[in-house]
Amino acid sequence: MSETVQAPPEGAYLGAPADYPPSTSAGRGMFGVAGTGDTSGFGGLVRRRSGALDSPRPYGGYFDDVVDALAEAYAGFHDAIERVVVDRGELTLHVKPERIAEVCQSLRDDAALRFELCSSVSAADYLGSDARRLHAVYQLTSMTYRRRIRLECAVPAEDPHLPSVTGVYPTADWQEREAYDMFGIIFDGHPNLTLILMPDDWEGFPQRKDYPLGGIPVEYKGAEIPPPDERRSYQ
Protein backbone atom coordinates (compact mmCIF):
# COMPACT_ATOMS: atom_id res chain seq x y z
CA MET A 1 0.00 0.00 0.00
CA SER A 2 1.42 3.35 -0.96
CA GLU A 3 1.82 5.95 1.76
CA THR A 4 0.07 9.30 1.40
CA VAL A 5 2.29 12.27 2.14
CA GLN A 6 0.34 15.04 3.87
CA ALA A 7 1.04 18.67 3.09
CA PRO A 8 2.87 20.29 6.04
CA PRO A 9 1.54 23.48 7.65
CA GLU A 10 2.57 26.88 6.40
CA GLY A 11 5.98 28.03 7.55
CA ALA A 12 9.53 28.81 6.55
CA TYR A 13 11.44 26.63 4.13
CA LEU A 14 15.11 26.40 5.02
CA GLY A 15 16.41 25.63 1.54
CA ALA A 16 16.62 28.34 -1.08
CA PRO A 17 15.83 32.03 -0.52
CA ALA A 18 12.38 33.22 -1.48
CA ASP A 19 13.50 34.43 -4.89
CA TYR A 20 14.70 30.94 -5.86
CA PRO A 21 11.77 28.96 -7.29
CA PRO A 22 11.41 25.27 -6.43
CA SER A 23 12.51 22.64 -8.92
CA THR A 24 8.88 22.10 -9.92
CA SER A 25 6.64 25.01 -10.83
CA ALA A 26 3.98 24.10 -8.26
CA GLY A 27 6.44 23.36 -5.48
CA ARG A 28 5.30 19.75 -5.45
CA GLY A 29 7.03 16.48 -6.21
CA MET A 30 10.71 15.78 -6.78
CA PHE A 31 12.98 14.48 -9.55
CA GLY A 32 10.29 15.09 -12.19
CA VAL A 33 7.97 12.47 -10.71
CA ALA A 34 4.42 12.91 -12.02
CA GLY A 35 1.38 10.77 -12.77
CA THR A 36 1.23 7.10 -11.85
CA GLY A 37 3.97 4.62 -11.13
CA ASP A 38 5.65 6.56 -8.35
CA THR A 39 6.91 4.11 -5.72
CA SER A 40 9.44 6.49 -4.13
CA GLY A 41 7.05 8.68 -2.19
CA PHE A 42 8.66 11.81 -3.62
CA GLY A 43 5.67 12.50 -5.86
CA GLY A 44 3.62 13.52 -2.84
CA LEU A 45 6.20 15.88 -1.42
CA VAL A 46 4.94 19.40 -0.78
CA ARG A 47 7.50 22.09 0.01
CA ARG A 48 6.91 24.74 2.65
CA ARG A 49 8.06 28.19 1.64
CA SER A 50 8.15 31.64 3.18
CA GLY A 51 8.28 35.09 1.63
CA ALA A 52 10.39 36.42 4.51
CA LEU A 53 14.07 36.92 3.76
CA ASP A 54 15.21 36.79 7.38
CA SER A 55 13.89 35.18 10.54
CA PRO A 56 12.66 37.68 13.15
CA ARG A 57 14.46 38.36 16.41
CA PRO A 58 14.81 36.87 18.94
CA TYR A 59 16.06 33.73 17.23
CA GLY A 60 15.99 31.71 20.44
CA GLY A 61 18.51 29.57 22.28
CA TYR A 62 22.13 30.42 21.62
CA PHE A 63 21.44 31.67 18.09
CA ASP A 64 21.21 35.35 19.10
CA ASP A 65 24.51 35.08 20.96
CA VAL A 66 26.24 33.53 17.93
CA VAL A 67 24.96 36.15 15.48
CA ASP A 68 25.82 39.04 17.83
CA ALA A 69 29.28 37.64 18.55
CA LEU A 70 30.00 37.21 14.83
CA ALA A 71 28.80 40.76 14.10
CA GLU A 72 31.21 42.05 16.75
CA ALA A 73 34.15 39.86 15.70
CA TYR A 74 33.85 40.31 11.93
CA ALA A 75 33.85 43.89 10.68
CA GLY A 76 32.30 42.96 7.34
CA PHE A 77 29.33 41.14 8.89
CA HIS A 78 26.53 43.31 7.49
CA ASP A 79 27.96 43.18 3.98
CA ALA A 80 28.85 39.48 4.03
CA ILE A 81 25.73 37.96 5.61
CA GLU A 82 22.82 37.95 3.18
CA ARG A 83 20.23 36.20 5.34
CA VAL A 84 19.82 34.77 8.82
CA VAL A 85 17.34 31.90 8.91
CA VAL A 86 16.16 29.88 11.90
CA ASP A 87 14.02 26.89 10.99
CA ARG A 88 13.36 23.53 12.63
CA GLY A 89 15.64 24.43 15.51
CA GLU A 90 18.64 25.16 13.26
CA LEU A 91 20.51 28.38 12.46
CA THR A 92 21.64 29.04 8.89
CA LEU A 93 23.70 32.03 7.77
CA HIS A 94 23.61 32.74 4.05
CA VAL A 95 27.02 34.17 3.15
CA LYS A 96 28.22 36.01 0.05
CA PRO A 97 30.46 33.58 -1.85
CA GLU A 98 33.55 35.78 -1.85
CA ARG A 99 33.39 36.17 1.96
CA ILE A 100 33.00 32.54 3.05
CA ALA A 101 36.63 31.98 4.08
CA GLU A 102 36.73 35.23 6.05
CA VAL A 103 33.52 34.37 7.89
CA CYS A 104 34.84 30.90 8.72
CA GLN A 105 38.06 32.42 10.05
CA SER A 106 36.14 34.63 12.48
CA LEU A 107 33.83 31.80 13.52
CA ARG A 108 36.82 29.60 14.31
CA ASP A 109 39.14 32.10 16.01
CA ASP A 110 36.92 34.40 18.06
CA ALA A 111 36.85 33.47 21.75
CA ALA A 112 33.07 33.93 21.95
CA LEU A 113 32.44 31.65 18.97
CA ARG A 114 35.09 28.92 18.73
CA PHE A 115 33.60 26.89 15.87
CA GLU A 116 36.66 24.68 15.65
CA LEU A 117 35.27 21.91 13.44
CA CYS A 118 33.88 21.90 9.92
CA SER A 119 32.17 18.52 9.97
CA SER A 120 30.77 18.68 6.43
CA VAL A 121 30.91 20.56 3.16
CA SER A 122 28.10 19.46 0.86
CA ALA A 123 25.91 21.05 -1.79
CA ALA A 124 22.37 21.34 -3.08
CA ASP A 125 20.99 22.04 -6.54
CA TYR A 126 17.89 24.23 -6.81
CA LEU A 127 17.11 23.44 -10.41
CA GLY A 128 14.87 26.08 -11.97
CA SER A 129 16.65 28.99 -10.31
CA ASP A 130 17.80 31.48 -12.92
CA ALA A 131 20.64 32.73 -10.76
CA ARG A 132 22.78 31.16 -8.05
CA ARG A 133 21.27 27.72 -8.46
CA LEU A 134 23.99 25.76 -6.62
CA HIS A 135 24.36 26.06 -2.85
CA ALA A 136 27.48 25.01 -0.95
CA VAL A 137 26.53 23.99 2.58
CA TYR A 138 28.94 24.05 5.53
CA GLN A 139 28.18 22.41 8.89
CA LEU A 140 30.23 23.93 11.71
CA THR A 141 30.54 22.70 15.29
CA SER A 142 31.84 24.47 18.38
CA MET A 143 33.22 21.76 20.64
CA THR A 144 34.01 24.43 23.24
CA TYR A 145 30.40 25.61 23.58
CA ARG A 146 28.58 22.56 22.15
CA ARG A 147 26.91 24.56 19.40
CA ARG A 148 26.18 23.93 15.74
CA ILE A 149 25.41 26.27 12.86
CA ARG A 150 25.12 26.02 9.09
CA LEU A 151 26.56 28.32 6.42
CA GLU A 152 25.30 28.47 2.84
CA CYS A 153 26.78 30.11 -0.25
CA ALA A 154 24.85 30.32 -3.52
CA VAL A 155 26.62 30.40 -6.90
CA PRO A 156 25.44 30.18 -10.52
CA ALA A 157 25.80 26.83 -12.27
CA GLU A 158 27.56 28.53 -15.20
CA ASP A 159 30.34 30.01 -13.03
CA PRO A 160 30.32 28.11 -9.71
CA HIS A 161 33.41 29.52 -7.99
CA LEU A 162 33.96 29.76 -4.22
CA PRO A 163 37.08 30.40 -2.11
CA SER A 164 38.31 27.20 -0.49
CA VAL A 165 38.11 27.05 3.30
CA THR A 166 40.82 24.40 3.61
CA GLY A 167 43.20 27.02 5.02
CA VAL A 168 40.79 27.48 7.94
CA TYR A 169 39.41 23.93 8.21
CA PRO A 170 41.77 21.21 6.90
CA THR A 171 38.86 18.72 7.15
CA ALA A 172 37.26 20.53 4.20
CA ASP A 173 39.92 19.14 1.83
CA TRP A 174 38.15 15.94 0.76
CA GLN A 175 34.71 17.41 1.44
CA GLU A 176 35.24 20.19 -1.10
CA ARG A 177 36.56 17.61 -3.57
CA GLU A 178 33.33 15.65 -3.22
CA ALA A 179 31.19 18.77 -3.78
CA TYR A 180 33.33 19.53 -6.84
CA ASP A 181 32.97 15.97 -8.12
CA MET A 182 29.21 15.68 -7.59
CA PHE A 183 28.04 19.26 -8.26
CA GLY A 184 30.85 20.95 -10.19
CA ILE A 185 31.45 23.70 -7.61
CA ILE A 186 35.01 24.99 -8.03
CA PHE A 187 36.79 25.86 -4.79
CA ASP A 188 39.50 28.36 -5.67
CA GLY A 189 42.70 27.87 -3.70
CA HIS A 190 42.08 24.21 -2.92
CA PRO A 191 45.42 22.33 -2.77
CA ASN A 192 44.32 19.44 -4.99
CA LEU A 193 40.85 19.89 -6.49
CA THR A 194 40.47 16.56 -8.32
CA LEU A 195 37.66 14.03 -8.60
CA ILE A 196 37.32 11.83 -5.54
CA LEU A 197 34.36 9.52 -6.26
CA MET A 198 34.08 9.28 -10.04
CA PRO A 199 36.79 8.15 -12.48
CA ASP A 200 39.34 10.81 -13.41
CA ASP A 201 37.93 11.24 -16.90
CA TRP A 202 34.25 11.34 -15.89
CA GLU A 203 32.15 14.02 -17.57
CA GLY A 204 29.22 15.65 -15.82
CA PHE A 205 28.15 16.10 -12.21
CA PRO A 206 25.98 13.21 -10.97
CA GLN A 207 24.14 15.01 -8.17
CA ARG A 208 22.95 17.96 -10.22
CA LYS A 209 19.23 17.63 -10.79
CA ASP A 210 19.51 17.93 -14.56
CA TYR A 211 21.85 14.92 -14.63
CA PRO A 212 20.06 11.89 -16.12
CA LEU A 213 18.92 9.28 -13.61
CA GLY A 214 19.57 6.48 -16.06
CA GLY A 215 20.89 5.80 -19.52
CA ILE A 216 24.60 6.23 -18.77
CA PRO A 217 26.84 3.20 -19.37
CA VAL A 218 29.60 2.54 -16.83
CA GLU A 219 33.00 1.27 -17.90
CA TYR A 220 35.03 -0.57 -15.27
CA LYS A 221 38.40 -2.17 -16.02
CA GLY A 222 37.58 -2.71 -19.68
CA ALA A 223 34.08 -4.10 -19.08
CA GLU A 224 31.07 -1.96 -19.93
CA ILE A 225 27.95 -2.24 -17.82
CA PRO A 226 24.78 -1.10 -19.62
CA PRO A 227 22.68 1.67 -18.05
CA PRO A 228 19.87 0.72 -15.65
CA ASP A 229 17.10 1.35 -18.16
CA GLU A 230 18.62 -1.29 -20.42
CA ARG A 231 19.22 -3.86 -17.68
CA ARG A 232 15.80 -4.17 -16.09
CA SER A 233 12.23 -3.35 -16.91
CA TYR A 234 10.28 -1.76 -14.07
CA GLN A 235 6.54 -2.30 -14.04
pLDDT tens track for 11-23: 333 444 444 444 4
pTM: 0.76
pLDDT tens track for 183-233: 999 999 999 999 999 888 888 899 999 887 766 666 666 677 777 667 665
Exposed/middle/buried for 138, CB within 10 Å: 0-12, 13-18, 19+? buried
pLDDT tens track for 117-140: 999 999 999 988 768 999 999 999
Domains, in order of start, for the chain: 51-202 (3.30.460.80)
pLDDT tens track for 60-101: 999 999 999 999 999 999 999 999 999 999 999 999 999 999
| pLDDT band, very low/low/confident/very high, at 43 (cuts 50, 70, 90) | low
| Angstrom distance (rounded) from CA 169 to CA 55 | 28
| Angstrom distance (rounded) from CA 119 to CA 175 | 9
How many beta carbons lie within 10 A of that of residue 169, not counting itself? 24
